[in-house]
Structure 1
Amino acid sequence: MTSISHHNPLYRIVVAHYLLAGLCFLILAGMFLFSVESLSGHYFQPKILALTHTAALGWGTMIIFGALYQLLPVILETNLYSTIFPWISLAFFVPGIILLVYSFWIFDPGLYMQIASILVLTGVIFFTLNVFFTVKRKKRESIFQEFIITSVLWLTLTALLGTLLVFNFQFSFLQKDHLDFLRLHAHMGIVGWFLMLIIGVSAKLVPMFLVSKYQKVQLLSFSYYFINAALVSFLLSAYLQGIVFITYVVVLLGATGVSFYLFYLFKCMKSRIRKEVDLPMVKTLFSFLLLAAGMLVLPFILYYHLENHRLAVNMSTLYGILIFMGWISALILGQTFKTLPFIVWLKHYEHLAGNVKTPVPADLLNGRLLYIQFVAFFLFLVTFIAGFLLGSIVMRFMGACSLIVTALSYLFHVIYLLLHKTKIRNYDDI
């Protein structure tokens, strides 16, 4: 198995992704502060498009890429196919994100945006190839493996459709309405990439972190098929407009698939041996409540959309906030400080284990920064969402300020961990 230590090139690429994601999160928080008024309008506008792609690519996808380079060998019990592909992917991905977000912010759908989309797509392709060939090394199939490989295929399709949409601004070769393809692009990313990948990884890790005895994966199989059926139905609905029942079928299939997954997590939580749950796991479990809240918004979006009511736009924006800034962000904020301490521990103490008494990974954390981050993020959710629903600019501004505190504490904590020095002076020899 590939080990993530200071002797392995994977350590540097994983750390690079964590740092870049933390920086993107801070930039995202600053963009929120300068966009509080724009968030009350239609979601298809420059600043919201820039915010969404910063959150989806620079924050969510960046951290997932880095984490997956670490976790894939662990989950599949095999070596990562290539340690060069991650660097190639990053070399294309980062400039692509910067150029894409800038092009959306000033809304220049010309050459720069086209170049950006190709750079992002190329970075995604190198990542996908690495995951695909790594999975192919694993002879024994598992539901976790199916979730992961399917999610990266959806990611590639999402990036490909996004590239086509960028070129469609200038050449208008797509026959359907641009907004229809935009909704398809968004949900392929949210459901096909983020949800499928998160289920595949978290379904393996959450029971490990909780020390849960529950190992029945039949619920995950049901979740896999229902969610993919929802996505395929959604693809069909883009070409069968006017048939209302297909939209209901999509929502029902997707909600059922997510429900099976949430029930699996509930069973893991109920059967856990470790009764005490630390703060990073609290954030992780809280993130799934935010996912459930986002799912509850979907029927309202559907109802108001079919009624051609203006609230459909507001509900769609609320859904995006709950998914990107709620569920995905809370999950990252929690899982970063379950995985990164372990990576740092391996660098400093793996070679010492068995010879001297060493700290555990959790001992490397800064409890104060962890607490500040949790409180600031909770205040962001409460004040920003309340301000959005009540139409209060002041509350949204307060929420954006809380998000900046969250991002700063997150980035400082990541840097704090990476600057850790080996400490064995205070430990007695075994």
Structure 2
Amino acid sequence: MRLNYIYNFSYEDNENESYFIYTVKDSTISRFIMDLNGQVKQMNWIDGSKSWFLFWSQPREKCEVYAYCGASGRCHEDTSPFCDCMNGFKPKLENDWNLENYAGGCERKTQLQCGNNSLANGKSDRFLKSPNVHLPENPQSVAVGSIEECETTCFNNCSCSAYAYENNGCSIWIGELLNLQQLEQGDTDGKTIYIKLAASEFPSSKDNKGIIIGVVVGSIAFVVLLGLVLFVYLRRRKRTIKTTKAVEGSLMAFAYRDLQNATKNFSEKLGGGGRRNSEQSEDGTVKFFPTWAANRIAENGDLRSLLDPRLEGNADVEELSRICKLACWCIQDNETHRPSMGQVVQILEGVVDVTQPPIPRSLQLFGDNQEHILFFTESSSSQSSQTQTNTSAASSQIKSTTSSRSS
């Protein structure tokens, strides 16, 4: 165990009992909780930002929590809401579901016919193909010779709710399905499962005929509308294209009038972007913008000062705070602390809250002032280290950080 680790650990094992104890060193404030979705979390208090920092969580993703979406529920890690019911199912406890408490799971909209009854009334149960999923818990293996035999085995068992067939292996699930997860499109770990549903959950041939007619009529209307739009567009384009001509290399030579219009009579330059990473102030010192922005976030300062002056501070403060915090999380030194693209979208949409981020160590090394560094590494389940750095040592530490990142 590292000497500078912020926790003390001890383990007692004797003939009467076995237990594990941890205590916090120095004046660090820490709390260990299990929240309502089943995740165990370690939170540390950051005095500088006056907020709790997520030090460690297990499982790391909601969909990894056992039965997070309940029986017959389906979990989506990168969409909101995280849970929905599979096709042919509905929430068992609608009110709890609306409050994002999914533990009650889902139930069938229509009960299975099953057995000889289904053959007598001509309404045989069927299977719905559900691709690109992480298969549910507790499958049973069945020795069969083909996917048809696998389907027949599940069909003849009234308690069988689904089957999967892969690499000449048949798996069936008896009773409720737990921990079914829908993966992102293109995920190479995705499997295919076949869910048993009542025949009424599938569209009839009469319904299909109506759908086909509707699609054909809609397609014709769309083509006609698209043709009209293209006709109007090409007529307008024809009038403006006269001022340009193509040259070798697939480039387009613009006339003087085109450039005049694009730049508002040359009053604006093309390609003008936002503010630079660093700028020189009137006293000759150079201010590194990312470090300055990260400090503003950590100090809960006025984030409107980070905006382009031309905006005149006109921005939603809550949205600006969310974006700035997210940006700081996205450039953390340890890549395991950076959010996934799915989490980024959820945070920007306001579905998921974003906590106060620590200032990345690499940014602190560019600062002129002495700063208190708090950073973590995943190798020891989020190790914490606190370091004091000053301007004279910044150069050598920057070289060290750069070489370690390159390796």
TM-score, normalising length: structure 1: 0.21
Q: Higher RCO, 1 or 2 (CA under 8 Å, sep at least 6)?
A: 1
More helix by share: 1
Q: Which is greater in Rg?
A: 2
Q: TM-score, normalised by structure 2?
A: 0.22
- Give the number of the structure whose residues are more often strand, by fraction: 2
